[in-house]
Amino acid sequence: MYPPSRKDFISLTLSDPHSHTYNNGKHRRQSCWRKWKQLSRLQRSLILFLLALLLIFGLISFPSISEQWRVSSGVVDRLEAVRQAFRHAWKGYKDHAWGHDELKPISKSFGEWFGLGLTLIDSLDTMWILGLKEEFAEARAWVEKDLSFDKNVDVNLFETTIRVLGGLISTYHLSADQLFLEKAKDLGSRLMPAFKTPSKIPFSDVNIGKGTAHPPRWTSDSTLAEVTSVQLEFRELSRLTQEPQYQEVVNEVMKLVHKLPGKHDGLVPMFINTNSGQFTHKGVFTLGARADSYYEYLLKQWIQGGKTEDDLLEDYLGAVEGVKKHLVRKTGPSKLTFVGELSHNRFNPKMDHLVCFLPGTLALGAHNGLPGDHMDLAVELMETCHQMYKQMETGLSPEIAHFSLQPSDGRDVIVKPADKHNLLRPETVESLFYMYRFTKDAKYRDWGWEILQSFNKYTKVPDGGYTSINNVRDPVNPGPRDKMESFFLGETLKYLYLLFSDDTELLSLDKYVFNTEAHPLPIWPSPPK
């Protein structure tokens, strides 16, 4: 076949239907141009002027439109990043620790504490909030088929109440699924023997199969935080079941502690004896381990009950004044406000990461009408908790920080060798969530985002799960510890998601109060007046 001649090519083009489109377009352009030429000079000038105005307006508004798009897409990206982190953590748990208490992500195995599927139950309401329906359905099936409390095992009253009982009750409220309430009732009744003590101060340990309870092997004391941080859950169980005994036993503990001698301007010692009902180890006061959630639950019980229980409010306000009077100091170098400890009138500039719950709690109190200077202190302490992350080479906080009181020292935060580990704890992101909800200051979101990125960089295990680390000061070798605590999914990731969400009605702080394991429980309706 020969190639077509020029004449053939022209005839082909003319017969092509698409060539009519070309000719029509050409005709339209000529027609438009003729109409434009028929307009007067004034009319043409006016049209050009209006087009120029539109162009200028577009250029001026472009940055704000693009900024709005960037911010909104950033929020979506951050929420999705939390979902991805949760899915990654869950994948490790599902692959290597399904139905067990904790994942060991490095060795791809599991750790058992009570044998109650702690990570799974702690994660239920987080999955619901994050909209992870498939994962939630799998976990629900395990709860229905495999979760049994009829076993000969000693459990810690406090840990089981805040993680398992709290997790089941909150999931019932969110999902309205009766299965979770039935499981909560079963567990609640099995924990009751802990309260059968001479003083009505509960034992720390209870055998949920045998119905017996006892103190730890080494002492007859219980930790004050533990016996005063089961109230939100037991009170709510009474409200749901219409069985008053759960609320009665925990209210009795609060009444006893309210009247006890041995407090120091509202501050309480760390231990209480189950035989005598008296404080022990007097003279040592901290807002860290063994005392922290006592203060948190004073405020939260008052809010839960509709702000009617005056003893709780009195104890909380007194405690905040005691903190300000005895424990609050500023660092020498940068004047960071921190909360130290008191040991027999000797001040120790030591602050557990656990104390970073306090900015959020103070802010929650101020939101509920308590003095404005509580919020001022919350803002200052939030900055310090942020610096506990920012001043570390990995961007992650140590378990315990010591603070320099000398202006000549280079750093505010000093980390001792035994305190360099990070357990994926939630307290700082918890407080960031409260601070953002109440102030809408975007810096709190940015700080939370930095923390999530550091978790991803230094604690994420490639094929599933996250691990606690040994050394926040060594980014080259942070030293994975091979343990993912259940609270990383139950609290840390949940609070990050809520921090980044624009939906203020998602667990509104005027409708829900969070227990100390981040399980939301409803604020009770006010009684009729």
Active-site residue, 159 included: yes
Measured CA to CA in angstroms, residue 455 lies from 66, 129, 220 at distances of 30, 21, 39
Integer Cα distance of 425 and 163 in angstroms: 14
CB-CB contact of 488 with 124 (8 Å): no
Q: Residue 460 carries which DSSP code?
A: B
Tokens of 326: 């005895």
Tell me how long the chain is: 529
Integer Cα distance of 419 and 399 in angstroms: 6
Nearest residue to 313 via CA among 287, 321, 271, 161: 321
Tokens of 135: 């994962």
User: Do the annotations mark residue 516 as ligand-binding?
Assistant: yes
Tally the C-alpha atoms within 13 A of residue 148's C-alpha that lie toward its C-beta.
Answer: 7
> Catalytic one among 125, 159, 315, 485?
159
> Catalytic one among 399, 412, 491, 517?
399
Q: How many CB atoms lie within 10 A of CB 260?
A: 15
Integer Cα distance of 513 and 69 in angstroms: 33
Identify the H or E element spanning 498. Answer: helix 493-500
> Catalytic one among 292, 315, 430, 517?
292
Tokens of 290: 């063994």
Active-site residue, 427 included: yes
Nearest residue to 397 via CA among 409, 380, 382: 382
Tokens of 46: 């006016």
Active-site residue, 399 included: yes
472 backbone dihedrals φ, ψ, rounded to 5°: -75, -10
CB-CB contact of 298 with 353 (8 Å): no
> Catalytic one among 427, 430, 485, 517?
427
CB-CB contact of 521 with 236 (8 Å): yes
Active-site residue, 310 included: no
Residue list, annotated binding site: 516
The catalytic residue positions are 159, 292, 399, 427
Binding residue ranges for Ca(2+): 516
